[in-house]
Amino acid sequence: MVFKNWKARYSKISSAEAAERLFRKSVAPVPINTPIGTYAPSNPSNYSSQTSSGASTTPSTPRDDIGPEPPSPDIPKVQEYKEVQEERRPYPDIPKVQEYKEVQEERRPYSASRQQVDVGMQAQSPTAQRHRPSAANYSVTMNNAPPETTLGRHIARRLVEIGVKDVFHVPGDFNLLLLDELLLEPQLNLVGCCNELNAGYAADGYARCKGVGAVVVTFTVGGLSVINSIAGAYSENLPVICIVGGPNSHDYGTSRILHHTIGHPDFSQELRCFQTVTLNDLNSAHEQVDYAISTSIRESKPVYISVSCNLPHISNPSFVPDLPFGPQTRISNPATLQASVDAAAEFLNRAVKPVLVCGPKIRVAKAKKACVEFAEAAGYPVAVMPSAKGLFPETYSKFIGTYWGAVSSPFALEIVESADAYIFIGPIFNDYSSVGYSLLIKKDKMLVVQPDRVTVGAGASYGCVVMVEFLTLLAQKVRKNEVAWENYKRIFVPPGVVQKSVANEPLRINVLFQYIQNMLNADTAVIAETGDSWFNCQKLKLPEGCGFEFQMQYGSIGWSVGATLGYAQAATSKRVISCIGDGSFQVTCQDISTMIRQNQRNIIFLINNGGYTIEVEIHDGPYNVIKNWDYCALVDAIKNGEGKVWTTRVKTEDELSRAVAECLSEKNRDNLCFIEIIAHKDDTSKELLEWGSRVSAANGRMSQILTE
């Protein structure tokens, strides 16, 4: 006989009998060294439930209708479990952790009854018991392992080892124990965000500065919310460790329906969505965690780690603190490397006026220094693709600006497209970067160097060639050729001077960016939101050491708010200047709150022109107009009397001049400054007008079926 109700069940047996059945029943234990994700027992039918009379019955199907069955309070094993827990997990004498512990004890003390309920959850159903290790196994593990050897602490240590100091998160019931474990790592700071999308964008921005980022969310409602930002990180080749607190390991393989799901007993919907934007699904022990993190670093892509909510605090000797760890590195095939260098050198040395164009994947390959050394050896003029701005020093003597087809920097287009050979290092060609596929470059004139592959003209392609090694050897074999640079100097005409504003004239966007240009130095970084800021920020001349980031490949509006938060959290020595449109700001504005909590000193220029201007230039319609907000009042409301924030609204150049002086003053040097710029809805850069018309034409191409 199997009881559906725990009260009825326990009314028929004594507490001693309950303890005996709960802890000494023969069940298939979960392998303790593979604690992440799903465990499927080898023999699901190997469960025997007893009735009050001692008879044994074997249910033919899992019972999903039996709820949590907490044991009676006087069960001895419960007290033993509590004592073991207190013995194995003392909170270290660290101020942050101690403060957290005191707050936790004040808010929700861990009473004996709570411990009993937690342990009582072990007796949920026949299926749940099959997925659960015996009490003896747990007791041995807890007594023999120090508190630093839990799964959660192992993950925390690995994050610190790869350079992550801040983890962005949104708490949920499935990740709370994991967050507890991360809090115990003294070198790790948890940054709570307002929503998962912004948390992912923050990890994206953090990775752009530090080389890797991390975000923790809860199962499905959090995972599917963060996935848009993870897809963006994938497209931008950023290593982001996305950790999701998953369901209790008991519940996998059952027919139970859980909250935070779409109402089906299949818990894999989140995983299936993530599989196309991450490299791996991890569901086993410490070596799998290490493999995932090292793979993310090596491939410069996000990874997805799901940790069942009942496992982060479990100790195991395999999670020892001093376990060696080192991400794998790529190496070239020596023969292929030499062949590719010889072919490339021959290709470039026979050209009359070759040029060099740097693409965004030099970040992936960590090849910034190698690119500069090659440029100096070759003598070619150097341009960058738009998404590579900031990855090559603009103070380099032969730097000619951005190559972006019809919206390139002045004269960069003519020099690149008139060359008889061009070497593209780490390029990404898409409809945006090619301005609607309108670039006039030819494949047979192109040498393409990717992080692990080299293609010479329309001929051979060489794999297993690491970019840094290739450029280093090629610099030794290429002949210096400054013909294209001399041509550039002959045709170059300095840009014109922006027309001065008259008194009380409405502020123009080109005037705004003059002021932003004068604010830049080695201690600043620029974040450009999707929209007209793309084009205006491309025209900024970056001083040595000035950072620059924007999301070219994915182009998700709203990205910049979270990215500003993450970048500023990573680059504490820099003041981040963000240029954000009003439409984008309305998508993700909540995490201004997190910037204030983290005492960030960003300068945000909110460009209020009444809608989605970039969409207007591609295809206009009433759907591109948005409701106007009182943005300064919104930020002040978010501040709510706490934090250091200064806001103002600007309509003229005189007001802008005073606002910029104020935010750079000693009084506001450490404050978050928010400047709302009132702009005319049609005040756009000429580059956006040109780019928008070409992208519109590309989007509007007739179907081949309709034209036949």
The answer to whether 352 and 328 have CB atoms below 8 angstroms apart is no
pLDDT digits (tens, 9 = 90+) for 360-375: 999 999 999 999 999 9
Q: Are strands 575-581 and 524-528 parallel, antiparallel or unpaired?
A: parallel
- How far apart, in Å, are the Cα atoms of 686 and each of 385, 510, 575, 691? 18, 10, 29, 9
Residue 512 has pLDDT above 80, yes or no: yes
The answer to whether 220 and 180 have CB atoms below 8 angstroms apart is no
What's the confidence (pLDDT) of residue 284? 55
What's the confidence (pLDDT) of residue 617? 84
* DSSP character string of 524-565: EEEEE-SSHHHHHHHTS-PPTT-EEEE-TTT--TTHHHHHHH
Mean pLDDT along residues 79-83? 44
Q: Which residues pair with 640 in a beta bridge?
A: none
Dihedrals φ, ψ of 351, to 5°? -80, 150
Q: Return the C-alpha torsion angle 169, 172, 174, 175, nearest 10.
A: 30
Give 464: exposed, middle or buried? Use CB within 10 Å, 0-12, 13-18, 19+. middle
Residue 388 has pLDDT above 60, yes or no: yes
Neighbours of 700 (CB within 10 A): 10
What's the confidence (pLDDT) of residue 272? 78
The H-or-E segment that residue 707 falls in is helix 704-707
Residue 484 has pLDDT above 70, yes or no: yes
Q: Which residues pair with 354 in a beta bridge?
A: none
What's the confidence (pLDDT) of residue 596? 98
What's the confidence (pLDDT) of residue 543? 97
The H-or-E segment that residue 275 falls in is none
pLDDT digits (tens, 9 = 90+) for 529-573: 999 999 999 999 999 999 999 999 999 999 999 999 999 999 999
Q: Which residue has the higher pLDDT, 101 or 261?
A: 261
Residue 91 has pLDDT above 50, yes or no: no
Cα separation, 82 vs 101, whole angstroms = 17
Mean pLDDT along residues 670-678? 97
What's the confidence (pLDDT) of residue 524? 98
Q: Which residue has the higher pLDDT, 16 or 134?
A: 16
What's the confidence (pLDDT) of residue 41? 31
Q: Which residue has the higher pLDDT, 119 or 403?
A: 403
What's the confidence (pLDDT) of residue 199? 98
Of the pLDDT bands very low, low, confident and very high (cuts 50, 70, 90), residue 703 is low
Cα separation, 673 vs 604, whole angstroms = 6
Q: Are strands 56-57 and 49-50 parallel, antiparallel or unpaired?
A: antiparallel
Region of poorest pLDDT, from 278-287, 379-388, 437-446: 278-287
CA end-to-end span of the chain: 73
What's the confidence (pLDDT) of residue 613? 86
What's the confidence (pLDDT) of residue 122? 27
Mean pLDDT along residues 475-502? 92
The answer to whether 244 and 222 have CB atoms below 8 angstroms apart is yes
**Mind spelling out the 3-state secondary structure of 106-117?**
HHCCCCHHHHHH
Neighbours of 599 (CB within 10 A): 11
Q: Output the pTM of the full model.
A: 0.78
pLDDT digits (tens, 9 = 90+) for 40-76: 333 333 333 333 333 333 333 333 333 444 444 443 4
The answer to whether 135 and 24 have CB atoms below 8 angstroms apart is yes
Query: Which domains does the chain possess?
Result: 151-319 (3.40.50.970), 334-491 (3.40.50.1220), 509-687 (3.40.50.970)
What's the confidence (pLDDT) of residue 256? 81
Q: Which residues contact 571 (CB under 8 A, 6 or more apart)?
A: 209, 525, 547
Mean pLDDT along residues 499-505? 85
The answer to whether 674 and 602 have CB atoms below 8 angstroms apart is no
